[in-house]
Amino acid sequence: MLGDRYVVLALVPPERRWLRELLALEPPGPDGEALQVVVAGSAEELGLRLASGRAFSAVVVDGHHDALSQDLVASCHRARCPVIVVSPSPWASGMDLGAQAMVAGGSLRHELPPVLRRCALPVPAAGICCPEDLHRALRGVPPPGRGVAVAVCGSGGTGASTVAMATAQGLATGGLATGGPVVLADLARRADQAVLHGAGQPERGLGDLLMYRPPGPGGPGSVLDSCLRMPERGYWLLPGLPERSAWAAVRPQAVGRVLALLASISAGLVLDIHPDWDGEKETGFLEVEERNAFSRAALASADVIVAVGLPGMKGAHALACLAQDLEAGGVPPSRTLLVMNRGDGIAAGPDQVQLPDLPEADLVGHGRSLPTALVAPLTAAVGRVLARSGRREAPGASIRLVARGTLGHFLEDEPTRRP
């Protein structure tokens, strides 16, 4: 009876030489590893086999195959299978598509076994494999983060980007996010965080993470390599895409991967998003939903949604409409924080914050922290929403220690056992 073995699902044309090399690996190797190869003749057959419920350790795809795409790699990930690309195509790098590893044809005997040990899990003899274990084996798909996530949105000219900066500084210095870095990600279609931080047009940014490659030695540090450090404010800045035309090439699968990467390395994550999250259901166009993928994903994953408006009749009306749009988008009011920027500093209610009108010189540029009059009210308000929603503990909440013998026992007539 077969023992634990690697079961590889291969999508490869029969004329490829490396297919014979792969089939020659089926007898146990010198290290005692057993390999079983299942060949799929087409992408449709690959999808049917993945949906059959049979456990596979990995999917091996020919780099020149016409079906190799982000959608194919994403479907393999949904089936909890890492993807290994063989003989990389000169026009499309498998790592750019989200694959976990790449190996060269002609050297599979030496390169594939260590890649399988690193990226995949063997299938038990019974053919049953825990999906969560396979999920952890996907080295290029990090686990969900456990830090605080805040999304900030507002119409143009309301100062939403400034509020996002103050929120990030508050998370970093106010005790709401501890145990890791705080990242401010500029996900707006008109990215201006780099300009507001005095960084101009940096070479690093969101575009690097959209084409992210799984980290080597050093782990999560490679994600922060795409960010700019702001030591005076205590957070890292991920600049956005410099041109609006670049959003047409952003795929939904890449959006989820970017947010997962940021969440996996950060204790606090602030997402500066565009105030538009309409999808195919609202507009009838799938292209609109894909264009708003970052905003839609941010609303679904953030612990707090900060909506920013301006004082006055028109500003208050626009803020109320934004709050209604958030609720229509599935955001409960318990996760929403309304911010009236450039007001008199007097809050109109427990779920609202009014920020003072400060000189632009105190807000723009780098080398200085933001004023306390701007950061402190936001930090306190975000903490209240976190506590109210129940998704995070209230800031500074005390932890009650359980003393030995105080938990009692299950049955009234059963004496309390002592060591």
Rounded CA separation 303/387 (Å):
10
CATH number at residue 157: 3.40.50.300
pLDDT for the residue numbered 239: 93
Tell me, yes or no, whether 108 and 160 share the same domain.
Answer: no
Tell me, yes or no, whether 119 and 257 share the same domain.
Answer: no
Q: What φ, ψ does residue 7 adopt, rounded to 5°?
A: -105, 115
Tell me, yes or no, whether 373 and 265 share the same domain.
Answer: yes
Domain boundary among 137, 169, 189: 137
What is the residue type of 245? S
Domain boundary among 109, 137, 165: 137
Tell me, yes or no, whether 129 and 260 share the same domain.
Answer: no
Tell me, yes or no, whether 27 and 111 share the same domain.
Answer: yes
Domain boundary among 75, 102, 137: 137
CA distances from 401 to 246, 257, 406, 407, 410 (A): 52, 38, 10, 11, 20
Residues counted in the chain? 419
Asked if the structure places residue 236 within a domain, the reply is: yes
Supply the DSSP string of 230-270, one letter for each residue: ETTTTEEEE---S-GGGGGG--HHHHHHHHHHHHHH-SEEE
Using a 10 angstrom Cβ sphere, with 0-12 exposed, 13-18 middle and 19 or more buried, the burial of residue 30 is: exposed
| Cα three-residue angle 137-53-144, rounded to 5 degrees | 35
- The structural domain count of the chain equals 2
Q: Contact, 38 vs 217, CB < 8 A?
A: no
Tell me, yes or no, whether 158 and 35 share the same domain.
Answer: no
Asked if the structure places residue 416 within a domain, the reply is: no
CA distances from 326 to 12, 183, 290, 304 (A): 46, 23, 18, 12
Tell me, yes or no, whether 244 and 113 share the same domain.
Answer: no
Asked if the structure places residue 418 within a domain, the reply is: no
With a pLDDT cut of 70, the percent of the chain lying above it is 76
Rounded CA separation 310/313 (Å):
9
Domain ranges, residue 112: 6-137
Count other Cβ atoms within 10 Å, centred on residue 134. 20
Per residue in 194-206, pLDDT (tens digit) is 988 888 778 788 8
Mean pLDDT score across all residues of the chain: 78
Any idea which residue has 């994903």 for tokens?
297
Asked if the structure places residue 371 within a domain, the reply is: yes
Per residue in 205-231, pLDDT (tens digit) is 888 888 765 444 434 456 788 899 999
Asked if the structure places residue 408 within a domain, the reply is: no
Copy the structure tokens of residue 142: 């990090």
Tell me, yes or no, whether 66 and 104 share the same domain.
Answer: yes
CATH number at residue 40: 3.40.50.2300
> Could you tell me the pTM of the whole model?
0.63
Tell me, yes or no, whether 222 and 89 share the same domain.
Answer: no
Least-confidence region, from 93-97, 251-255, 415-419: 415-419
